C-alpha cells in the first residue's frame, strides 16, 4: 500500500512541477502516472549504475555531477513516455531540482519521513 501511495505522491509532484515550469509539459494524469512509474524504475535500476561509473567525476565535482545524471534520466523518461515532454537539458536539470523540492514539501505536508511512507 505504501508503494501505491508513494507512486501517487510522485505523480502529484510531477504534475505540480510541470505546472510550475514552462519547459515541461504533461498531457494529463495518465501521462503523469506513467512518467512517475518510469522515472521510479529508471532511478532504481539505471541510476545506481551511472553513479558507480561516474564516481571519480562525482568526487571531483563534490557530488554536483549527480544533478547532471538526474537531468539525463529525466530526459530519458521524456523520450520514453508519450505525453511527458521536457524541452532540453536545462529544463530537465531544473525539473529534477524542483521535483526533489516538491517531493520533500509533500512529504512534510503528509507527515511522512522523507523517502519512507508510514
Task: Supply the DSSP symbol for 116.
Answer: B
Q: Is residue 117 part of a domain?
A: no
Give the pLDDT band of residue 96 (cuts 50, 70, 90).
Answer: very high
Q: Is the pTM of this model over 0.85?
A: yes
- What lies within 8 Å, CB to CB, of 21 at 6+ separation is 91, 94, 95, 98
Based on the structure, what is the number of domains in the chain? 1
Length of the chain: 118
Compute CA distances 77 → 3, 96, 117, whole Å. Answer: 20, 12, 24
Give the pLDDT band of residue 113 (cuts 50, 70, 90).
Answer: low
Give the pLDDT band of residue 110 (cuts 50, 70, 90).
Answer: confident
Domain enclosing residue 42, as ranges: 2-109
Q: Is residue 28 part of a domain?
A: yes
Name the residue among 46, 115, 50, 54 with its Cα closest to residue 80: 46
Amino acid at each position: 500500500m505504501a508503494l501505491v501511495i508513494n507512486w501517487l505522491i510522485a505523480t502529484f509532484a510531477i504534475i505540480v512541477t510541470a505546472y510550475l515550469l514552462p519547459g515541461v509539459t504533461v498531457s494529463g494524469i495518465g501521462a503523469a502516472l506513467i512518467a512517475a512509474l518510469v522515472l521510479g524504475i529508471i532511478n532504481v535500476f539505471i541510476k545506481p549504475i551511472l553513479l558507480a561509473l561516474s564516481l571519480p567525476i562525482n568526487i571531483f565535482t563534490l557530488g554536483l555531477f549527480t544533478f547532471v545524471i538526474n537531468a539525463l534520466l529525466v530526459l530519458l523518461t521524456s523520450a520514453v513516455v508519450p505525453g511527458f515532454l521536457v524541452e532540453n537539458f536545462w529544463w530537465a536539470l531544473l525539473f529534477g531540482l524542483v521535483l526533489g523540492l516538491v517531493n520533500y514539501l509533500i512529504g512534510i505536508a503528509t507527515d511522512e519521513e522523507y523517502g519512507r511512507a508510514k
